[in-house]
Amino acid sequence: MNEQLAETRKIQEKLLEILLYFRQFCEEHDLQFTLAGGTCLGAVRHRGFIPWDDDVDVFMLREDYERLGPLWERFADTERFACVRSNEQYNIHHTATEIKDSSTTFINRHSVDLDIHQGLMIDVIPLDAVADGGPARLLQMAHGMMYCCFNFQRLPEHKGRLFYYLTKTALGLVRSPKARYRIWKHEEKMHTRYAVSEHPLVASFGEGLSIMRQRFPKEWFLHPGTALFEGHEMPVPADVDQYLRISYGDYMQLPPEEDRVPRHDTVFMDLEHGYRQYRGVKYFVQK
């Protein structure tokens, strides 16, 4: 266990480098973000990473989320850090945008066969306005589920049995990559059509049914608070206690010891050398 925690700590140190660069970039270009999920929980409960956590999640409201990619390509250090988001030609099998460190290698089992960026990453998760009224919200969630299914294009882990079997059935019926892309772009357009400026609540519609049912006042993200994370001041939802209670319940209670494990299913990692040298050797191996 101590060896695993030591390896996880090395990952966390690299993740912190990415996060600090991302924070600097956002400050320079007037982009707002907050820590999200387990990263936010770690900031409050541990003043940093959850000891066994091997990822970083941040939230961005949709308007800034859409600005991020174009600004990154123009102004960021793209030799070191890449801003990666699925498109028609390039699918990372993840609904979030990833800020990836090109000087590292971090190959997950679900992407080992793919010719994609294989560096360590932090996840940038968009928040969208929640529709007003019960029927409209149910329809929006249905669009969100379809978007997740055809954007991920893989059987999802940790997202619940309903989402798993929905994805398995839908991908079995629609096998063409072009058809899948057209579907997920349409579903993305449908679930994001509500303007944040006109609605009081926001939610993440790209992480499965249980997550998209969690709704938060947009003011928490328009005017965030701060918390220390590994000795650095980071933005968090303004009412961070209520955010964490909605997300985790009694969030100060540690999980059972058997659940204190990293979430990534990593098949190969090299935090000192870039992923490109491993193409055809550790990933995208021609069979």
What is the Cα–Cα distance from 120 to 101, expressed in whole angstroms?
5
pLDDT at 217: 98
pLDDT, tens digit (0-9, with 9 covering 90-100), for 28-61: 999 999 999 999 999 999 999 999 999 999 999 9
In a domain, 283, yes or no: no
Contact yes or no for 34/224 (Cβ under 8 A): yes
Residue 287 lies in a domain: no
Judge whether residue 244 has pLDDT over 60: yes
In a domain, 100, yes or no: yes
Look over the chain and give the mean of its residue pLDDT values, rounded to a whole number: 94
Q: Is residue 40 part of a domain?
A: yes
pLDDT (0 to 100) of residue 123: 98
Does residue 144 lie in a domain region? yes
The answer to whether position 10 is within a domain reads yes
Radius of gyration of the chain, Cα coordinates, nearest whole angstrom: 18
- Domain-embedded: residue 284: no
Structure confidence by residue, pLDDT tens digits, 135-167: 999 999 999 999 988 998 877 666 667 767 777
Domain count, the chain: 1
Q: What is the pLDDT of residue 2?
A: 76
CA dist 74 and 187 (Å) reads 29
- % of the chain beyond a pLDDT of 70: 97
Distances (CA, A) of 224 to 34, 66, 249: 7, 19, 21
Q: Average pLDDT, stretch 117-142?
A: 97
Distance CA 119, CA 131 (A): 36
Domain that holds residue 139: 2-278
User: What local confidence, expressed as pLDDT, does residue 156 receive?
Assistant: 66
- The strand pair at 57-61 and 120-129 is best described as parallel
Contact 181, 198 (CB under 8 A): no
- pLDDT tier at 1, thresholds 50, 70, 90: low
Q: Is the pTM of this model over 0.75?
A: yes
164 inside domain: yes
Rounded average pLDDT over 94-102 = 96
